[in-house]
Structure 1
Amino acid sequence: MITFIPLTGFLGAGKTTTMTTTALALQEQGHRVAVITNDQGVELVDTKLVRSKLDSVAEVTGGCFCCRFEDLVEAIVGLVGSDNVDIVIAEAVGSCTDLQATVVRPLRQYYGDHMVVAPLTTVVDPLRHLAFERAAQRGEPESDLSYLFRQQLSEADVIAVNKLDTIPAERAETLLTDLRAQYPKATVVGCSATTRQGIDSLLDAWRAPAGNEAVDLDVDYDRYAAAEAQLAWMNQELDLVAANGEFDATAWARAVLDHLSTWAAEHDAVVGHAKLTVETKDGDFTKLSVTRAGEQPTPDREAGGTTDVARAVVNARVACEPEALDRAVSEAVTAADQCAQVVSSATAPVSFKPSYPRPVHRLAPAGA
């Protein structure tokens, strides 16, 4: 019998870091753990980072788990069969919701003889949550993105407030208290996947009964689709060659994301996330990310030294039109090329907006 642990949460919440950190913690306890990444597009920055830390990794691309249910099952079966794992952790696309009805219940109903599905966990960025809360306190109408964010919280069995190391302790305690009052059926855990603070409490929550299993979430799929359609999605590959000797891959990546972050702030464009990897010819790589407009890039990994050639992958999810994101990324790359003395060549821009969510299954709670 294997255990399947589903993660959801808005873009930039730190799901991948949470997944990786908890997988390593479970391995330390003697488990054999695999993970699955998920995205609307292909060429995922996060998958490369996860594979640098874990042996058993799969990905489901081209849509969320709810719309790619058979692909999810195939990935689980493949990992169990090839790597003999006993735990699979999977993170859904950051713009996805209604997972209790479209993923958790179908897995329990159709595969419950072979699989224990752990409580559904929503990973939360505290600063993102506070931003949505401030908008509500100002009396602003609830945006479609805020609606999507609230639905992710409403269906959670476990709410994992991540990145607690980024806010003051008093503020963190107030936030946890407020979430426990707002979502009394959920287990609310504070943690930092980066520092491992609270990770043991999160693992304990996964072993407890699911609190929201019987809740039938009322999802307005038109609003859900509208929220996803506010975001332009880009996955782009680039080949990089030094214009003069060698270049610093981390400096180039930082310049790209600095420029893109500044552009988003100037255009009041919400950044779901912008992530970038640069892999050198010897297999070393840099990974940086931005989760809010105007912020400085955060390094997850930095390549050592310089290189003469490299390959980059950009994943950007920004609330704007696809054509605007194409231009913004192209301008950011041009600026970074000039700064780092690089000649880059890229695949054609492929920004798009997700299609209307059409889950394979949508099951009501037992007895409903």
Structure 2
Amino acid sequence: MITFIPLTGFLGAGKTTTMTTTALALQEKGHRVAVITNDQGVELVDTHLVRSKLDSVAEVTGGCFCCKFEDLVQAVVALTDSDGVDTVIAEAVGSCTDLQATVVRPLRRYYGEDMVVAPLTTVVDPLRHKAFERAARRGEPESDLSYLFRQQLTEADVIAVNKLDTIPAGHTDELLQGLREQYGDATVVGYSAATGDGVDLLLDAWEAPAGNHAVDLDVDYDRYAAAEAQLAWMNQEIELTAVGQEFDATAWGRTVLDRLSAWAAENGAVIGHAKLTVDAGEGEFAKLSLTEAGAPATEDRVLTAASAGARAVINARVACEPQELDRAVADAVSAADQVTGTRSSATSPVSFKPSYPRPVHRLTPAGA
């Protein structure tokens, strides 16, 4: 019997770090764990990072789990058949919602004899949550992105508040209690996937009986689609060559994201997330990320040795038009080349907006 653990949550919430940290913790408890990443595009930074830490990794690309349901099932089957795993953790695209009806219930209905589906977990960034709450308190009309964020919380069996190490300790209890009062049907836990503090609370929440979520989520698919369409998605591959002897790959990545952050702040563009890797080969790579306009890049993994050449991959999800993101990233790459002494050769820009979500299945609680 396979245990399937579904994760959802807005872009930049830390789902991949949560998935990796919990997978390692479960392995220490004797489980054989595999993970599945998911994205609207291809060439995923997250998959690269996860494969550096875990052996059994798959990805579902070109759409979210609800629209690529059979691909998800095939990935689970392949992992269990080839690697003999007993637990699969899967993170959905950060702009996805309605997973209870389109993924969780169909898995239980059609594959329940071979699979135990754990409680649906929504991973939350406390600073992102605070920003949406602040807009609501000001009486602003609910944006489509805020609507999407709220739907992700409403359908959660477990609300997992990540990144508690990034907020003052005195604010934690107030935040968690507020979520418990607002979403009374959910189990609310707080932790930091980066430090590991509180991760055992999340593991305990996954062991609770899941059942069928009682809420029949009333999703306005037009608003859902509009929220996704606010974001331009870029997955781009870039070949880097040192103009002189060698260059600092981490500094190159930091410059790209810092320039993109400054551009987004200047133009009022919300950053869902921007991530990049700079791979020098032989398992050596830098990985950096950005989740807020105007903020500095976070260095998740540093490449200390200088490089003569490298392959960079950029994943960016920004609330703007695709051509605007193409220009912004091209300008940021040009600036990074000048700062670090590199020559870059990029694939054609691949920024796009997701198509209208059309789930393969949608089961109400009665229909499940």
The residue identity in structure 2 corresponding to 1:70 is: E
The question of whether the paired residues in 1 share the 8 Å contact of 2:180 and 2:188 is answered with: yes
Instruction: State the match for 2:158 in structure 1.
Output: 158
Equivalent position of 1:299 in the other structure: 299
Does residue 96 in structure 1 map to residue 96 in structure 2? yes
In the alignment, the residues of structure 1 paired with residue 57 and residue 367 of structure 2 have an alpha-carbon distance, to the nearest angstrom, of 36
Which residue in the other structure is 2:275 paired with? Answer: 275
Q: Do 1:9 and 1:152's aligned partners in 2 also have CA atoms closer than 8 Å? A: yes
- Per-residue displacement from partner, 1:240-287 (whole Å, max 9, x unpaired)? 000011000000000000000000000010000000000003330000
The answer on whether the counterparts of 2:105 and 2:212 sit within 8 Å (CA) in structure 1 is: no
Match of 2:121 in 1: 121
Superposition deviation, residue 212 in structure 1: 6.1
**Contact in 2 for aligned 1:157/1:212 (Cα 8 Å):** no
CA distance in 1 between counterparts of 2:211 and 2:333 reads 46
Q: 1:174 to 1:232 in 2, by over 3 A?
A: same
Quick one: distance in 1 between partners of 2:141 and 2:221?
A: 18
Q: Is the contact between residue 14 and residue 162 of structure 2 (CA under 8 Å) also seen in structure 1? A: yes
Q: Distance in 2 between matches of 1:56 and 1:301?
A: 21
**What TM-score, normalized by structure 1, do the two folds share?**
0.99
CA contact (8 A) 1:186 1:212 kept: no
Task: State yes or no: 1:359 paired with 2:346.
Answer: no
* Equivalent residue letter for 2:169: A
Q: How many Å separate the matches in 1 of 2:84 and 2:282? A: 30
Task: Please report how far the alpha carbon of residue 304 of structure 1 lies from its aligned counterpart in structure 2 after TM superposition.
Answer: 2.1
Instruction: Say which SS state the counterpart of residue 62 (structure 1) adopts.
Output: coil
1:58 aligned partner: 58
Q: Do 1:185 and 1:212's aligned partners in 2 also have CA atoms closer than 8 Å?
A: no
User: Which amino acid is the alignment partner of residue 10 of structure 2?
Assistant: F
**Structure 1 residue 7 displacement after superposition:** 0.0
Aligned-partner SS, 1:210: coil
The CA distance in 2 between the partners of 1:30 and 1:220, in whole Å, is 42
CA distance in 2, matches of 1:313, 1:212: 39
Q: Does 1:198 align with 2:198?
A: yes
Amino acid at match of 1:98: D
* 1:248 maps to 2:248: yes
Does 2:351 match 1:339?
no
Partner of 1:261: 261
Correspondence 1:43 to 2:61: no
Deviation at 1:207, TM superposition (A): 0.6
- Given that 1:276 and 1:315 are in contact with CA atoms closer than 8 Å, whether structure 2 keeps it comes out as yes
Shift in Å, 1:299: 1.2
Post-superposition CA distance 1:101-143 (Å, at most 9, x none):
0000000000000000000000000000000000000000000
Q: Which residue of 1 aligns with 2:17?
A: 17
Matched, 1:27 2:27: yes
The SS at the match of 1:235 is strand
**What corresponds to 1:285 in structure 2?**
285
How far apart are the structure 1 equivalents of 2:173 and 2:20?
Answer: 25
Is the CA contact 2:117–2:210 (under 8 Å) kept in the aligned structure 1? no
Cα distance, 1:300 vs structure 2: 1.2
Match of 1:138 in 2: 138
Extract unaligned runs of 5+ from structure 2: none
Contact 1:11 1:95 in 2 (8 A): yes
The residue that corresponds to 1:4 in the other structure is: 4
CA apart distance, 1:173: 1.1
Secondary structure of 1:288's match?
Answer: strand
Query: Distance between the aligned counterparts of 2:9 and 2:367, measured in 1?
Result: 28
| Partner Cα distance (1:313, 1:184) in 2 | 41
Contact 1:185 1:211 in 2 (8 A): no
- Per-residue deviation at 1:303? 1.2
Matched, 1:168 2:168: yes
Query: What CA deviation, in whole Å up to 9, does each residue of 1:61-95 have, x standing for no partner?
Result: 00000000000000000000000000000000000
Amino acid at match of 2:21: T
Per-residue CA deviation, residues 25-75 of structure 1 (Å, 9 max, x unaligned), is 000000000000000000000000000000000000000000000000000
* Residue matched to 2:180: 180
Tell me the CA shift for residue 347 of structure 1. 0.1
